[in-house]
Structure 1
């Protein structure tokens, strides 16, 4: 008997060592709570160990609570009971895992697929009650689970473990994957669904009509192709989501008619989300000065995601006075050199015969602007220019971007003395039009800049000093900064802790994902230019084949006109005839059902 007991204790010790070594995410501090099996034929006791998990407050998490428990026969283990947590809901799944979903401030009336999981019934009043508090601090929660095993003699052994949950609610992002200063834009969440049913400049079913509608709204496209504009689209009323990813076929491209001097789109509104749109204005009338793609003249909480900008005669885009703005996963390419801009077409202008191929100008009173995971290619200047003509302070971050074949100037930072800039993980690649005598990054005297992991022909690896690739913005534009001219620590911005990326990773990840979701021939060519170190700046779209043909496509079926594909609704337990379920939250993740659907279109 002594021998058998010693073997059992030896087995417990081995189990302890195995769990200690291989269970990093679990709590092994309470091993003293184990129960040793009375079965003398077993060398390893049945042990239930408490668990610790960290959960993002916007997402559910599947918990494999048995993974660190030790049983003679795991196939013979059943979870026979779970307690009800205070701050979440749980599902006991057939594979013996438990799905934990933190409660949010958004109500849910979700239905569960009973063939896949068994829902633990909660008090109906409590489970659907909407929280009146916007929880932002981490919250502690816990529940218990009870296991039952049966040995060969038919004796049952019951044990209970505790699962401790830490919930970080944070603040709901515009959509999963939103980053930077604009990541918390509300867009049109909770608002009306408006269909764009044609490609007309204006009138019923047009994009202009959808934009001009007041109140929170989500714009869904039922057609793909070109929208040729006779005047600028202007977003004046706040809280709008323009869901370009919903367009069928080859997606949506905005261009101008050529009979005026105006940008494709201008916004003065707050809480704007624009995803998956191509801005390709093309030449306007001679002596024009307003031929931009997208202009943000004011507004707060704006995110531009997976959009493509090219063929503007002024800047491709201008955040000019806007605050809390993110451009991410975008392509900024081929701003036109000698086109219809006043510098090219007015002999009386002092800048006559000067090229005007400009990427992005971050101008007066703009503050808290992020440019992330994006590609600049074939733009003569402003790649981007931060702080043009501004003396006020601001915070800016340029993280994980590629800059290719700039001409006269690459990235220029001319901010006031109260401004701060994080410049991280940038890859500057010269092309055939690049002035290689100048440094690719130039900084004004008063700018406060933190730089890290920036690669160019002047600094080819990250063991070299950052100052090698950064110069003073003064002629001849090749005087390198000293290391002491740069901030020693990153400024506390949203992406200040973004991880280091190698040149190879930046190239592979950005070039496979940047630009509008439906990649047209223009974006495909730009990406190949960057990969192959080819291509050049242009004066007119005709030099590179002009506007490609776009397939209009066929829209998904949406009988109740709630913006969601009927098949997706059925697959996700929703009613395709209920037009009110788009703003509900079936999975309690904080995002509405229409939010979830639109995001899945991007995956």
Structure 2
């Protein structure tokens, strides 16, 4: 009997391993990596660059349980904020050509969302206190290779949320009146890794949070770089192997506004504040945080089940330079910002409006490939992978690896392109 029970336990273990939920996509890590998005839901094709109506991005994200794919590229001009539904995968990598930009106002995300290779840009025409992306009071969200710019209050706002990852994102060029990067108000289980924070007056981010902040690059901050919670509540920040690089507008310290209620573990960080065009920073030491009155701890405090593969700060600089933002096809704006970073202190500017920065130009529009059954997978890919291009149901059948064929297709685009 003991032998039989033992065999059953072993069989159950391997069955659980076989059918265990995979991470959101290969390469997802941190606290938000278990988001499932629109897996096994329906597919919505964005076929129009209009603000609203059938085939638009606004319509695509208005209902839950969807994977959003793009049959067009270009600039989507929006006048009012978009409120997205729950359980969405927004697969920006499916857009042909240079991809898409959602420009003119912001978006608020909902529970269990995966967003990849998108560009969200606000505008001076938004409300004075508006942010470009809001992730408030929700859980299980991951943003991967997303560009977030031109927010009026902050580019990004995360409040009372949990299990959130931002990885390989570009958070830059917030505009008047605050010109701040991001405000995190009491979220827990937050992972921020391999992101570029560029041309933000402050809040890169403001971390009133339980957060792991790993392998980020902060460039050309104004009055302060990474900001503590400086409140009566306790906050727990792990600051590991980041590179802080001063630019033309930098006047303040690379960290700021920490207090005794900020419990900080730090390791492997570098600051380069000489603006000499050479990457030659010095190691961040305990005194840097003690001077800001932080409470130092000796062990990492935030421990996700799927840990970030951590690089040295020098290696992370190169990774961020190559990958941050919607980098499959960087548009002119993101290329300009990467150029600032590459100057290592000589170039960059904290602008008052997006017009001062050059504005949002138009992009060359392109069309996607033929998808006869409308399941989100082009006919060519279905044929090559033994699927039926006339059967829309086969795209959403979960395989033994935990992913659907549609997920396998959109994930493969990241490494191999549309062909």
Secondary structure in 1 aligned to 2:323? coil
CA shift at 1:417, angstroms?
4.6
Call closer, same or farther: CA 1:500–1:179 in 2, change over 3 Å. closer
2:183 counterpart of 1:335: no
2:286 aligns with one of 467, 470, 473: 467
Q: Deviations over 1:9-57 (max 9, x none)?
A: xxxxxxxxxxxxxxxxxxxxxxxxxxxxxxxxxxxxxxxxxxxxxxxxx
CA distance in 1, matches of 2:133, 2:284: 36
1:488 corresponds in structure 2 to 298
Call closer, same or farther: CA 1:480–1:544 in 2, change over 3 Å. closer
Call closer, same or farther: CA 1:492–1:296 in 2, change over 3 Å. closer
Secondary structure in 2 aligned to 1:371? strand
CA contact (8 A) 1:136 1:171 kept: no
CA distance in 1, matches of 2:88, 2:304: 23
| Deviation larger for 553-562 or 577-586 | 577-586
CA distance in 2, matches of 1:323, 1:487: 22
CA distance in 1, matches of 2:325, 2:237: 24
1:139 corresponds in structure 2 to 14
For the pair shown, the structure with the greater C-alpha radius of gyration is 1
Could you state the TM-score of these two structures normalised by the residue count of structure 1?
0.62
2:348 corresponds in structure 1 to 535
CA contact (8 A) 1:255 1:281 kept: yes
1:199 aligns with one of 37, 46, 49: 49
2:234 counterpart of 1:454: no
1:499-510 aligned at under 5 Å gives the runs: 501-510=311-320
Q: Deviations over 1:71-129 (max 9, x none)?
A: xxxxxxxxxxxxxxx99xxxxxxxxxxxxxxxxxxxxxxxxxxxxxxxxxxxxxxxxxx
Call closer, same or farther: CA 1:305–1:439 in 2, change over 3 Å. closer
1:367 corresponds in structure 2 to 188
2:102 corresponds in structure 1 to 254
2:235 aligns with one of 405, 413, 419: 419
CA shift at 1:568, angstroms?
1.1
CA shift at 1:170, angstroms?
5.5
**Structure 1: gaps (5+ residues):** 1-85, 88-132, 141-165, 257-262, 342-355, 388-393, 472-478
CA distance in 2, matches of 1:195, 1:324: 28
1:72-471 aligned at under 5 Å gives the runs: 139=14, 171-213=21-63, 215-235=64-84, 237-256=85-104, 263-267=105-109, 269-284=110-125, 288-336=127-175, 339=176, 341=177, 356-363=178-185, 365-387=186-208, 394-414=209-229, 417-436=233-252, 438-457=253-272, 466-471=285-290
CA contact (8 A) 1:427 1:455 kept: yes
CA distance in 1, matches of 2:250, 2:13: 50
Q: Deviations over 1:360-418 (max 9, x none)?
A: 1101x42211111100000001110011xxxxxx5211111000000011101216554
CA shift at 1:569, angstroms?
1.1
Larger relative contact order, structure 1 or 2 (CA cutoff 8 Å, min sep 6):
2
CA shift at 1:230, angstroms?
1.9
Secondary structure in 1 aligned to 2:355? helix
1:556 corresponds in structure 2 to 369
Call closer, same or farther: CA 1:199–1:138 in 2, change over 3 Å. same
CA distance in 2, matches of 1:325, 1:272: 10
Call closer, same or farther: CA 1:281–1:222 in 2, change over 3 Å. same
CA distance in 1, matches of 2:143, 2:309: 22
CA shift at 1:494, angstroms?
2.1
CA shift at 1:427, angstroms?
0.5
Call closer, same or farther: CA 1:432–1:556 in 2, change over 3 Å. same
CA contact (8 A) 2:270 2:284 kept: no
CA contact (8 A) 1:417 1:448 kept: no
Secondary structure in 2 aligned to 1:443? coil
Q: Name the count of aligned residue pairs.
A: 401
Call closer, same or farther: CA 1:594–1:408 in 2, change over 3 Å. same
CA shift at 1:279, angstroms?
1.1
CA shift at 1:191, angstroms?
0.2
1:598 aligns with one of 393, 410, 413: 410
**Structure 2: gaps (5+ residues):** 1-6
